[in-house]
Amino acid sequence: MMEKKLWGGRFEASLEAWVEEFGASIRFDQKLAKFDIQGSIAHVTMLGQTGIIEQAEADTIKAGLEELLAEYETGQLEFDVTNEDIHMNMESLLTEKIGPVAGKLHTARSRNDQVATDMHLYLKDKLHEVIEKLANLRQVLVHLAEEHVETVMPGYTHLQHAQPISFGHHLMAYYQMFTRDSERFTFNIQHADMSPLGAAALAGTTFPIDRQLTSDLMGFAKPYSNSLDAVSDRDFILEFLSNSSILMMHASRLCEEIINWCSHEYQFVTLSDTFSTGSSIMPQKKNPDMAELIRGKSGRVVGNLVGLLTVMKALPLAYNKDLQEDKEGMFDTAETITVAIDILAGMLESMTVHKDRMAVSTEKDFSNATELADYLASKGMPFRQAHEVVGKLVLECTKAGHYLQDIPLERYQEVTDLIEEDIYQALQSRTAVERRTSLGGTGFESVQHQIQQATAELNPDK
């Protein structure tokens, strides 16, 4: 006997169980249950107010939906794969609860606009959560930068010592990255904050619905202007996945640095035990596993973006079953980034910074070579000539096994009489950092200015 489906009127045979399992989405789209009920409550409220169904019927359906929501929130609802997706499961559960009148809920609605509405509601809610968590991470970076404005460390290019910088300055670079991430997610809300409900399958409906009313009831900024676009648009999800990929790329870069900094070769920081693990065979090990996991999960998030882009790239309008593949990557990404942001904030907040080790690492290197070139240029030597002079001195030092600050004044003055005793002060790492006062530079005053700006951004009402 053919099992009765809500869409089964024109079918003579039912799906085999393994085929049904392949086509079903309830395993993952049950995450939309709360939002599906929220959208249904708005829809039936509108059906009653417009007279499309009797007000008493609308009230009965609404009461049943509210009971289902309460049961869902207490973990009492059970979903059945034979009902395919969250929409069919909810309609079936509602029918069990209030009887055949539940069938009137689907008047002037399709699963096409229903699922799109659910995802808009889900993602809009998630975006606010992500932005809030990013604000906390940015605040952690600012607080850490405040503590380390005058902590001197090597700045790198090509992973080679380049110029000494403030550790606070280094941290504030990541503050700027995560601020741009927050701005992208904030813009993402604009496209998530639209209601597809009422677009029906693709062409709208003959019923006298009020799409503005349902949009307002769900708290959306506006309804979609085109019904085809409403049911087929997944740009708001692609934007989220793209923004998340950029966020995780930034997080991965910072984690890569943390992994380096806590290695034996660097010893710049020590991570809290809370965010470290040990080895099953090597008892001395303290591994930065959480940082490594964030670095690894960045690939997973990028994969979700590429997956949906590939699904979307050749889809004709309007709805196609391919769009069922839009959800798992969205859910996975949302869950991944929200935890990753919190883990990263916790690692930064609890790690120990070894200021002395950072400072020492800038003293036995040639990261002050630019200071000598700038010194000569400030005395009137063309910079290109100064660059060549300093390059030759660096070569001389590497062969002799010492550094620029070890060269006697007599030798400096053999090279050029522009060099005087103040050169040794200029070659100190702290001096090199302190003097870079240009806007956005690593000078201590400049870093303080960055922190002040960031504090104002994070606390606009103060």
* DSSP for 392-429, written as a single string: HHHHHHHHHT--GGGS-HHHHHHH-TT--TTHHHHTSH
Q: What is the distance between the alpha carbons of residues 368 and 370, in angstroms, rounded to a whole number?
A: 5
Integer CA distances (angstroms), 458 to 172, 182, 444, in order: 13, 11, 21
Q: What is the distance between the alpha carbons of residues 236 and 191, in angstroms, rounded to a whole number?
A: 5
Spatial CA neighbour of 302 closest among 340, 245, 238, 243: 245
User: Facing residues of 166 across strands?
Assistant: 152
Q: What is the distance between the alpha carbons of residues 115 and 197, in angstroms, rounded to a whole number?
A: 9
Q: What is the distance between the alpha carbons of residues 241 and 258, in angstroms, rounded to a whole number?
A: 25
Task: Judge contact between 156 and 169, C-beta under 8 A.
Answer: no
Q: What is the distance between the alpha carbons of residues 207 and 47, in angstroms, rounded to a whole number?
A: 9
Confirm whether 128 is a catalytic residue.
no
Phi and psi at 177, nearest 5°, equal: -60, -50
Among the listed residues 158, 264, 280, 438, the single catalytic one is 158
Confirm whether 279 is a catalytic residue.
yes
What sign results for the dihedral spanned by CA atoms 165, 168, 171, 175? negative
Among the listed residues 263, 272, 279, 378, the single catalytic one is 279
The count of other CB atoms within 10 Å of the CB of residue 389 is: 18
Tokens matching residue 446 = 């400049």
Catalytic residue numbers, as ranges: 158, 279
